[in-house]
Chain A
């Protein structure tokens, strides 16, 4: 990415992987709705191709993105499952460019919570290139303030693996919309209790269901007050957020939290999405008079610093 004659490295912390067969019917229907009627039968084939490691790398190449985070997810209520092992297989294709985030099932916690915690720890320590944890409370149907799940934050802090947590809403069917699953203030108790755990507030409070910046100020407030809180703007560069993106980047700069923002897109979605998201986001930052150094931080260096990785070169 070139800005004012300078080439900047870009890391996209937020990419998904998976397989069609691991998606619930409601999500398959949603993806198929984007395809013309006569071509719906190819949705699964194309989806698998886009979501594999080779497909992710192709999108990164097309967008000029140097590296990316790839998320595991166990969300059978909404978007499906991408196992830790599958993520590890995909990132192994190019471990200098693809970095894995492990996750765990939480839907039967009373019966297998201890087992799930052990599985998470094993994934973080035993699978190559797992640099963080991915959680999505609204998708996975558990409250931010439910102390039964604080063991996840303990593990992450102890192992030095930052946690990416989905905040605010989602347009996907089955996702919880109530504040205890979407409002980041419900996380504050955990943030305070686990100061060694890094909490990355995903989507930075972008209420995509209602198309409003409902929880952005809350995210910025938490990032201002807590050293262990960071933000990520996934999906704010998408068309759905076009009207609010300028306001979002202005709030980030006015809030003095540009060194807390780690760029991510919530891709790959469809071919070309990651590149379009990046372009829209960079234009918004330019229009808001971000300095080149601020953009360099957001696009790559904040990621390197938070995850303890070398700075990426353009």
Chain B
């Protein structure tokens, strides 16, 4: 199913925003029974801080729901943090009312060195 995502990726005030932003989209959940698990990878994109727009083919038969995860590569090393550099920020949003052909999201980069599992599923 073709899906178009638009929206904004925002960093806290005072954070350098010159770096590339990496976006990953995931199924919120995949498979059934004991194999049911969250955060099943679909595809990756690149963007910059601020407004963005991406399109991709959502595989309806591979899972359900949609997560949009992003991280800001402050030091342009292509890696979300190193053992000594802990400043790259990440954020994730779960899309409400999905599936849908067009969605709008706002992602706040709030957590340093955080993979998507840091955010989802959230603590209850």
Contacts and interface: CB of A to CB of B under 8 A. Distances in A.
Interface in B33-49: 34-41
A81 B113 CA distance: 28
Given A22-B35, A80-B35, A186-B83, 12 more contacts: A22-B34, A24-B35, A76-B31, A77-B39, A81-B35, A107-B117, A109-B117, A111-B121, A111-B123, A142-B115, A146-B114, A189-B83
B12 interface: no
B34 A76 contact: yes
B83 A146 contact: no
A55 interface: no
Nearest to A107: B37
Contacts of B35: 22, 24, 76, 80-81
Contacts of B14: none
B124 interface: yes
Interface in B80-124: 80-83, 113-115, 117-118, 120-124
28 contacts: A22-B34, A22-B35, A24-B31, A76-B34, A76-B37, A107-B39, A108-B38, A108-B121, A110-B120, A110-B122, A111-B123, A111-B124, A141-B115, A142-B115, A143-B115, A145-B81, A145-B113, A146-B114, A146-B115, A146-B118, A148-B118, A178-B80, A179-B79, A180-B81, A180-B113, A185-B83, A186-B83, A188-B83
A142 B83 contact: no
Contact of B117 (A142, A174, A178, A188): A142
A247 to B, nearest CB: 25
Q: Which 8 A-B pairs have the closest CB atoms?
A: A76-B37, A110-B123, A76-B35, A107-B37, A185-B83, A143-B115, A179-B79, A108-B121
Interface of B: 31, 34-41, 79-83, 113-115, 117-118, 120-124
Contacts of B123: 110-111
A178 B36 contact: no
B79 A180 contact: yes
A174 B41 contact: yes
Contacts of A178: 79-80
Interface string A70-92: 00000011001100000000000
Contacts of A77: 37, 39-40
B113 A107 contact: no
Interface centre among B83, B120, B121 (most CB of A within 10 A): B83
B118 to A, nearest CB: 7
Contacts of B40: 77
Contacts of B39: 77, 107, 141
A180 B78 CA distance: 12
Contacts of B38: 107-108
Contacts of A189: 83
Contacts of A81: 34-35
Contacts of A110: 120-123
A179 B78 CA distance: 10
Contacts of A108: 37-38, 121
Contacts of A76: 31, 34-37
